[in-house]
């Protein structure tokens, strides 16, 4: 399975839409896509993970590394629309305390 990322920029906000499985085989593709973002102070990045069907520790590692780069540039990162499974993964690892993570809203 592959992973795809699409970006939409609106002023100082970049929305990214991540889709697929994030594992050992696809993490490098995600890393390359995230590294293509020109990080500037005050930039807000919002990554929509609603179409991520699976994530292992390699995928988590990509988000942690990207989070560190974003913070170093005084920018902001928010992960949104996480499934209950992904939300739990971020909670178990303690990353939800470090990063801004928002799960899918139940209707």
Give the start-to-end residue ranges of the domains of the chain. 3-103
Q: CA 22 to CA 58: how far, in whole Å?
A: 7
Tokens standing for 88?
Answer: 């739990």
Cβ contact 86:101 at 8 Å: no
Extended strands (E) in the chain = 3-10, 13-22, 44-55, 76-82, 100-103
Binning pLDDT at 50, 70 and 90, where does residue 105 land?
Answer: low
25: phi then psi, degrees, rounded to nearest 5: -80, -30
Query: What is the per-residue pLDDT across 47-98, written as a single tens digit (0 to 9) for each?
Result: 999 999 999 999 999 999 999 999 999 999 999 999 999 999 999 999 999 9
Query: What is the per-residue pLDDT across 9-30, written as a single tens digit (0 to 9) for each?
Result: 998 999 999 999 999 999 999 9
pTM for the model stands at 0.92
**Assigned superfamily of 3-103:** STAS domain (3.30.750.24)
The pLDDT mean for the chain works out to 93
Q: CA 11 to CA 44: how far, in whole Å?
A: 9
Report the pLDDT value the prediction gives residue 54, as an integer from 0 to 100: 94
Report the pLDDT value the prediction gives residue 107, as an integer from 0 to 100: 47
């Amino acid at each position: 399975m592959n992973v795809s990322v699409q970006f939409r920029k609106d002023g100082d906000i970049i929305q990214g839409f991540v889709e697929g499985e994030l594992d050992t085989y696809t993490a490098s593709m995600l890393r390359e896509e995230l590294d293509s973002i020109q990080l500037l102070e005050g930039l807000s990045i919002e990554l929509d993970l609603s179409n991520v069907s699976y994530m292992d520790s390699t995928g988590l590692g990509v988000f942690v590394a990207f989070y560190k780069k974003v913070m170093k540039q005084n920018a902001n990162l928010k992960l949104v629309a996480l499934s209950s499974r992904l939300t739990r993964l971020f909670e178990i690892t303690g990353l939800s305390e470090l990063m801004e993570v928002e799960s899918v809203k139940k209707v």
